[in-house]
Structure 1
Amino acid sequence: MQERARKDLEAVKAYLEASMAPDPVRAATYVSQKFLCRFTGNRVFDTPSGPTGFNAQRYQWVKKRIERYDVVEGEEETIIYSLGYLYGAWPDGRPFDHNRYVDRFVVRDGLIIETDVWNDSAEWLLDPSISRA
Protein backbone atom coordinates (compact mmCIF):
# COMPACT_ATOMS: atom_id res chain seq x y z
CA MET A 1 0.00 0.00 0.00
CA GLN A 2 1.35 3.41 -0.95
CA GLU A 3 2.01 6.03 1.74
CA ARG A 4 -0.92 8.23 0.67
CA ALA A 5 -3.39 5.34 0.89
CA ARG A 6 -1.96 4.37 4.29
CA LYS A 7 -2.52 7.94 5.51
CA ASP A 8 -6.07 7.90 4.13
CA LEU A 9 -6.80 4.59 5.87
CA GLU A 10 -5.54 5.98 9.19
CA ALA A 11 -7.91 8.95 8.79
CA VAL A 12 -10.86 6.58 8.26
CA LYS A 13 -9.90 4.48 11.28
CA ALA A 14 -9.62 7.59 13.47
CA TYR A 15 -12.94 8.93 12.14
CA LEU A 16 -14.72 5.65 12.93
CA GLU A 17 -13.19 5.51 16.41
CA ALA A 18 -14.38 9.07 17.11
CA SER A 19 -17.81 8.39 15.60
CA MET A 20 -18.36 5.34 17.79
CA ALA A 21 -17.25 7.18 20.97
CA PRO A 22 -19.49 9.12 20.00
CA ASP A 23 -17.43 12.29 19.55
CA PRO A 24 -18.65 14.09 16.40
CA VAL A 25 -16.41 17.09 17.14
CA ARG A 26 -13.29 14.91 16.99
CA ALA A 27 -14.71 13.01 13.99
CA ALA A 28 -15.07 16.34 12.16
CA THR A 29 -11.29 16.82 12.24
CA TYR A 30 -10.99 13.95 9.73
CA VAL A 31 -13.46 15.28 7.14
CA SER A 32 -13.22 17.80 4.33
CA GLN A 33 -15.15 21.08 4.39
CA LYS A 34 -17.15 19.58 1.50
CA PHE A 35 -17.97 16.42 3.48
CA LEU A 36 -21.09 14.53 2.42
CA CYS A 37 -22.54 11.52 4.23
CA ARG A 38 -25.29 9.46 2.62
CA PHE A 39 -26.65 7.48 5.53
CA THR A 40 -29.08 4.56 5.62
CA GLY A 41 -32.38 5.38 3.94
CA ASN A 42 -30.55 7.99 1.81
CA ARG A 43 -30.44 10.51 4.65
CA VAL A 44 -27.87 13.15 3.71
CA PHE A 45 -25.66 14.92 6.26
CA ASP A 46 -22.82 17.41 5.83
CA THR A 47 -21.20 16.98 9.27
CA PRO A 48 -20.42 13.95 11.46
CA SER A 49 -22.97 15.21 14.01
CA GLY A 50 -25.78 14.25 11.59
CA PRO A 51 -25.25 10.47 11.76
CA THR A 52 -24.47 10.73 15.50
CA GLY A 53 -27.81 12.44 16.11
CA PHE A 54 -29.67 9.92 14.00
CA ASN A 55 -28.02 7.00 15.82
CA ALA A 56 -28.99 8.53 19.18
CA GLN A 57 -32.64 8.20 18.10
CA ARG A 58 -32.34 4.73 16.59
CA TYR A 59 -30.22 3.02 19.27
CA GLN A 60 -29.77 3.19 23.03
CA TRP A 61 -26.13 2.62 22.07
CA VAL A 62 -24.30 1.14 19.08
CA LYS A 63 -20.73 0.09 18.27
CA LYS A 64 -18.98 -1.46 15.28
CA ARG A 65 -17.07 -4.71 15.23
CA ILE A 66 -14.86 -3.96 12.26
CA GLU A 67 -13.83 -7.12 10.44
CA ARG A 68 -11.76 -5.60 7.65
CA TYR A 69 -10.92 -2.65 5.46
CA ASP A 70 -10.72 -2.90 1.69
CA VAL A 71 -8.54 -0.17 0.19
CA VAL A 72 -8.72 0.84 -3.48
CA GLU A 73 -5.99 3.27 -4.46
CA GLY A 74 -6.76 5.78 -7.19
CA GLU A 75 -4.66 8.49 -8.75
CA GLU A 76 -6.09 11.28 -6.60
CA GLU A 77 -8.44 9.57 -4.15
CA THR A 78 -8.55 6.43 -2.07
CA ILE A 79 -11.77 4.44 -1.76
CA ILE A 80 -11.96 2.60 1.54
CA TYR A 81 -14.61 0.11 2.60
CA SER A 82 -15.12 -0.77 6.26
CA LEU A 83 -17.02 -4.04 6.72
CA GLY A 84 -18.26 -5.76 9.82
CA TYR A 85 -21.10 -5.92 12.30
CA LEU A 86 -23.01 -3.52 14.52
CA TYR A 87 -23.88 -4.49 18.07
CA GLY A 88 -25.63 -2.58 20.83
CA ALA A 89 -29.08 -2.03 22.23
CA TRP A 90 -32.33 -0.81 20.70
CA PRO A 91 -34.10 2.12 22.40
CA ASP A 92 -36.16 -0.31 24.53
CA GLY A 93 -32.95 -1.91 25.86
CA ARG A 94 -33.09 -5.16 23.82
CA PRO A 95 -29.55 -6.12 22.84
CA PHE A 96 -28.57 -6.90 19.25
CA ASP A 97 -25.48 -8.25 17.54
CA HIS A 98 -24.37 -9.49 14.09
CA ASN A 99 -26.07 -6.56 12.30
CA ARG A 100 -24.14 -6.36 9.01
CA TYR A 101 -22.78 -2.99 7.87
CA VAL A 102 -20.71 -1.57 5.02
CA ASP A 103 -19.26 1.93 5.04
CA ARG A 104 -17.70 3.35 1.88
CA PHE A 105 -15.33 6.32 2.18
CA VAL A 106 -13.81 8.56 -0.48
CA VAL A 107 -10.64 10.10 0.95
CA ARG A 108 -8.31 12.69 -0.53
CA ASP A 109 -5.15 14.02 1.12
CA GLY A 110 -6.05 12.42 4.46
CA LEU A 111 -9.54 13.96 4.65
CA ILE A 112 -12.83 12.16 4.10
CA ILE A 113 -14.77 13.76 1.26
CA GLU A 114 -17.80 11.51 1.30
CA THR A 115 -19.15 8.37 2.86
CA ASP A 116 -22.02 5.98 2.24
CA VAL A 117 -23.45 3.88 5.09
CA TRP A 118 -25.51 0.68 4.81
CA ASN A 119 -26.67 -1.77 7.50
CA ASP A 120 -29.44 -4.21 8.42
CA SER A 121 -31.04 -2.07 11.16
CA ALA A 122 -34.15 -1.05 9.23
CA GLU A 123 -34.97 -4.65 8.38
CA TRP A 124 -34.38 -5.75 11.94
CA LEU A 125 -36.64 -3.00 13.29
CA LEU A 126 -39.40 -4.11 10.91
CA ASP A 127 -39.10 -7.73 12.02
CA PRO A 128 -37.47 -8.05 15.47
CA SER A 129 -37.55 -11.86 15.21
CA ILE A 130 -34.61 -11.79 12.77
CA SER A 131 -32.28 -9.80 15.07
CA ARG A 132 -29.96 -11.80 17.28
CA ALA A 133 -28.21 -10.88 20.50
Structure 2
Amino acid sequence: LMVVPATPDAITVMIHEMPGAHYMRGGLRRQGAPARPDPCETIRDYLAAMEARDLPRAEAMLGAGFVMNFPDAPNLKTLAELIAWAKPRYRFVKKTYDKFEAFQQGMVSVVYSMGTLYGEWPDGTPFAGIRFIDRFEMKNGQITRQDVWNDMAEVRAKLA
Protein backbone atom coordinates (compact mmCIF):
# COMPACT_ATOMS: atom_id res chain seq x y z
CA LEU A 1 0.00 0.00 0.00
CA MET A 2 1.51 3.27 -1.09
CA VAL A 3 0.24 6.07 1.16
CA VAL A 4 2.16 8.89 -0.52
CA PRO A 5 2.27 8.68 -4.34
CA ALA A 6 5.92 9.71 -4.61
CA THR A 7 9.29 8.03 -4.82
CA PRO A 8 11.18 7.80 -1.50
CA ASP A 9 13.73 10.43 -2.59
CA ALA A 10 10.86 12.92 -3.09
CA ILE A 11 9.55 12.56 0.48
CA THR A 12 10.81 14.53 3.46
CA VAL A 13 9.84 13.51 6.97
CA MET A 14 10.39 15.91 9.86
CA ILE A 15 10.26 14.77 13.45
CA HIS A 16 10.33 17.17 16.35
CA GLU A 17 11.55 15.66 19.60
CA MET A 18 9.41 16.56 22.57
CA PRO A 19 10.80 16.64 26.09
CA GLY A 20 9.30 13.84 28.20
CA ALA A 21 7.89 16.40 30.65
CA HIS A 22 5.66 17.77 27.85
CA TYR A 23 4.30 14.41 26.70
CA MET A 24 0.52 14.17 27.17
CA ARG A 25 -2.29 11.96 25.96
CA GLY A 26 -5.95 12.48 26.72
CA GLY A 27 -5.08 15.65 28.63
CA LEU A 28 -2.93 13.71 31.11
CA ARG A 29 0.84 13.82 31.48
CA ARG A 30 2.26 10.40 30.67
CA GLN A 31 5.59 8.66 30.38
CA GLY A 32 6.20 7.39 26.85
CA ALA A 33 7.06 3.71 26.50
CA PRO A 34 10.53 2.78 25.28
CA ALA A 35 10.73 1.63 21.68
CA ARG A 36 10.82 -2.12 21.10
CA PRO A 37 13.78 -3.63 19.26
CA ASP A 38 13.69 -3.67 15.45
CA PRO A 39 11.81 -6.90 14.59
CA CYS A 40 14.12 -7.61 11.62
CA GLU A 41 17.15 -7.41 13.91
CA THR A 42 15.50 -9.75 16.43
CA ILE A 43 14.82 -12.28 13.66
CA ARG A 44 18.38 -11.95 12.31
CA ASP A 45 19.71 -12.57 15.84
CA TYR A 46 17.43 -15.60 16.28
CA LEU A 47 18.45 -17.12 12.94
CA ALA A 48 22.14 -16.50 13.69
CA ALA A 49 21.74 -18.21 17.08
CA MET A 50 20.01 -21.18 15.43
CA GLU A 51 22.71 -21.49 12.78
CA ALA A 52 25.41 -21.40 15.49
CA ARG A 53 23.37 -23.94 17.52
CA ASP A 54 23.30 -21.48 20.42
CA LEU A 55 19.95 -22.87 21.54
CA PRO A 56 19.77 -21.06 24.92
CA ARG A 57 20.17 -17.70 23.14
CA ALA A 58 17.57 -18.65 20.50
CA GLU A 59 15.11 -19.97 23.10
CA ALA A 60 15.37 -16.71 25.06
CA MET A 61 13.79 -14.95 22.04
CA LEU A 62 10.73 -17.22 21.96
CA GLY A 63 7.41 -16.18 23.46
CA ALA A 64 4.62 -18.13 25.12
CA GLY A 65 2.78 -20.46 22.75
CA PHE A 66 5.62 -20.47 20.19
CA VAL A 67 4.94 -22.76 17.24
CA MET A 68 6.85 -23.63 14.04
CA ASN A 69 5.33 -24.94 10.83
CA PHE A 70 7.71 -26.61 8.35
CA PRO A 71 6.83 -28.36 5.07
CA ASP A 72 5.57 -31.90 5.72
CA ALA A 73 6.03 -31.61 9.50
CA PRO A 74 3.69 -31.56 12.47
CA ASN A 75 3.46 -28.32 14.43
CA LEU A 76 6.73 -28.05 16.33
CA LYS A 77 6.67 -26.28 19.69
CA THR A 78 10.30 -26.53 20.84
CA LEU A 79 13.70 -26.19 19.23
CA ALA A 80 14.52 -29.72 20.41
CA GLU A 81 11.54 -31.00 18.38
CA LEU A 82 12.81 -29.09 15.34
CA ILE A 83 16.31 -30.56 15.63
CA ALA A 84 14.95 -34.10 16.03
CA TRP A 85 12.64 -33.64 13.02
CA ALA A 86 15.44 -32.19 10.84
CA LYS A 87 18.14 -34.74 11.77
CA PRO A 88 17.26 -37.38 9.13
CA ARG A 89 16.71 -34.70 6.45
CA TYR A 90 20.14 -33.05 6.33
CA ARG A 91 23.50 -32.95 8.14
CA PHE A 92 23.36 -29.20 8.32
CA VAL A 93 21.65 -26.29 6.62
CA LYS A 94 22.57 -22.62 6.47
CA LYS A 95 20.97 -19.63 4.83
CA THR A 96 22.01 -16.88 2.48
CA TYR A 97 19.62 -13.95 2.91
CA ASP A 98 18.36 -11.85 0.03
CA LYS A 99 16.11 -9.62 2.11
CA PHE A 100 14.06 -9.10 5.24
CA GLU A 101 10.68 -7.35 5.26
CA ALA A 102 8.66 -6.28 8.30
CA PHE A 103 5.24 -4.79 8.93
CA GLN A 104 2.73 -4.41 11.75
CA GLN A 105 -0.52 -6.31 11.91
CA GLY A 106 -2.28 -4.89 14.96
CA MET A 107 -0.09 -5.70 17.97
CA VAL A 108 1.85 -8.34 16.00
CA SER A 109 5.08 -7.64 14.10
CA VAL A 110 5.38 -9.81 10.99
CA VAL A 111 8.82 -10.42 9.47
CA TYR A 112 9.62 -12.25 6.25
CA SER A 113 13.13 -13.49 5.51
CA MET A 114 13.91 -14.69 1.99
CA GLY A 115 16.91 -16.26 0.35
CA THR A 116 18.50 -19.61 -0.40
CA LEU A 117 19.59 -22.64 1.61
CA TYR A 118 22.89 -24.50 1.39
CA GLY A 119 24.26 -27.43 3.35
CA GLU A 120 24.69 -31.20 3.15
CA TRP A 121 22.26 -34.06 2.69
CA PRO A 122 22.55 -36.95 5.19
CA ASP A 123 25.02 -38.78 2.89
CA GLY A 124 27.37 -35.76 2.84
CA THR A 125 26.43 -34.57 -0.65
CA PRO A 126 26.35 -30.77 -0.73
CA PHE A 127 23.32 -28.76 -1.82
CA ALA A 128 22.92 -25.05 -2.52
CA GLY A 129 20.57 -22.54 -4.08
CA ILE A 130 17.36 -23.93 -2.58
CA ARG A 131 14.80 -21.13 -2.24
CA PHE A 132 13.15 -20.41 1.10
CA ILE A 133 10.78 -17.95 2.74
CA ASP A 134 10.35 -17.77 6.51
CA ARG A 135 7.47 -15.83 8.04
CA PHE A 136 7.72 -14.86 11.70
CA GLU A 137 5.22 -13.33 14.09
CA MET A 138 6.36 -11.39 17.15
CA LYS A 139 4.38 -10.11 20.13
CA ASN A 140 5.88 -7.94 22.84
CA GLY A 141 9.32 -8.33 21.28
CA GLN A 142 9.26 -12.16 21.35
CA ILE A 143 8.83 -14.65 18.50
CA THR A 144 5.53 -16.53 18.71
CA ARG A 145 5.29 -18.20 15.30
CA GLN A 146 7.49 -19.32 12.41
CA ASP A 147 6.12 -20.58 9.10
CA VAL A 148 8.62 -22.02 6.61
CA TRP A 149 8.34 -22.59 2.87
CA ASN A 150 11.18 -24.00 0.76
CA ASP A 151 11.95 -26.11 -2.30
CA MET A 152 13.97 -28.75 -0.42
CA ALA A 153 11.54 -31.62 -1.19
CA GLU A 154 11.48 -30.76 -4.90
CA VAL A 155 15.28 -30.71 -5.07
CA ARG A 156 15.56 -34.03 -3.20
CA ALA A 157 12.96 -35.63 -5.49
CA LYS A 158 15.06 -34.72 -8.55
CA LEU A 159 18.08 -36.46 -6.98
CA ALA A 160 16.20 -39.73 -6.38
Measured against the shorter chain, the TM-score band is 0.7 to 0.9
Letter in 1 for 2:116: Y
- Matching residue of 1:92: 123
Q: Compare CA radii of gyration and give the structure with the larger one.
A: 2
Letter in 2 for 1:25: P
- Matching residue of 2:24: none
Structure with higher helix content: 1
Structure 1, unpaired ranges of 5+: none
Contact 1:103 1:115 (8 Å CA) reproduced = yes
Structure 2, unpaired ranges of 5+: 1-34
**In the aligned structure 2, how far is the partner of 1:22 from the partner of 1:57?**
17
Q: Which has the higher contact order (CA 8 A, sep 6+)?
A: 1
Cα displacement string for residues 16-39 of structure 1 (whole angstroms, at most 9, x for unaligned residues): 111112233321111112101111
| Residue-pair matches, total | 126
**In the aligned structure 2, how far is the partner of 1:65 from the partner of 1:19?**
14
* Structure 1 segment 34-49 matched on structure 2, within 5 A: 34-49=65-80
Is 1:123 matched up with 2:134?
A: no
* Cα distance, 1:61 vs structure 2: 1.3
TM-score where L is the length of structure 2 = 0.72
**In the aligned structure 2, how far is the partner of 1:104 from the partner of 1:89?**
24
**In the aligned structure 1, how far is the partner of 2:84 from the partner of 2:56?**
12
**In the aligned structure 2, how far is the partner of 1:54 from the partner of 1:25?**
19
Is 1:24 matched up with 2:55?
A: yes
* Cα distance, 1:42 vs structure 2: 4.0
* Structure 1 segment 45-56 matched on structure 2, within 5 A: 45-56=76-87
Q: 1:126 aligns to what SS in structure 2?
A: helix
Q: 2:123 aligns to what SS in structure 1?
A: coil
Structure with higher strand content: 1
**In the aligned structure 2, how far is the partner of 1:98 from the partner of 1:20?**
17
- Matching residue of 1:15: 46
Identity %: 33
Letter in 2 for 1:53: A
Is 1:102 matched up with 2:129?
A: no
Contact 2:117 2:128 (8 Å CA) reproduced = yes
CA RMSD across the alignment: 1.6
